Amino acid sequence: GAVVSQHPSRVICKSGTSVKIECRSLDFQATTMFWYRQFPKKSLMLMATSNEGSKATYEQGVEKDKFLINHASLTLSTLTVTSAHPEDSSFYICSAKRTRSYNEQFFGPGTRLTVL
Partner 1 sequence: DAKTTQPNSMESNEEEPVHLPCNHSTISGTDYIHWYRQLPSQGPEYVIHGLTSNVNNRMASLAIAEDRKSSTLILHRATLRDAAVYYCILRDDSGNTGKLIFGQGTTLQVKP
**Rule CB under 8 A: is residue 109 a binding residue for partner 1?**
yes
CB of 74 to partner 1, least distance (A): 15
Question: Using the rule CB under 8 A, is 95 a contact of partner 1?
Answer: yes
DSSP letters, 66-84, are TEEEEEEETTEEEEEE-S-
Please select the residue that binds partner 1; options are 19, 56, 81, 93, rule is CB under 8 A: 93
Residue 104 makes contact with partner 1 by CB under 8 A: yes
The verdict on 4 binding partner 1 (CB under 8 A) reads yes
The partner residues of 36 in beta bridges, in order of sequence, read 46, 93
Cα 83 from Cα 114, distance rounded (Å):
13
Q: Are strands 57-58 and 44-51 parallel, antiparallel or unpaired?
A: antiparallel
Interface residues with partner 1 (CB under 8 A) are 4, 6, 32, 34, 36, 43-46, 49, 93-95, 97, 102-110
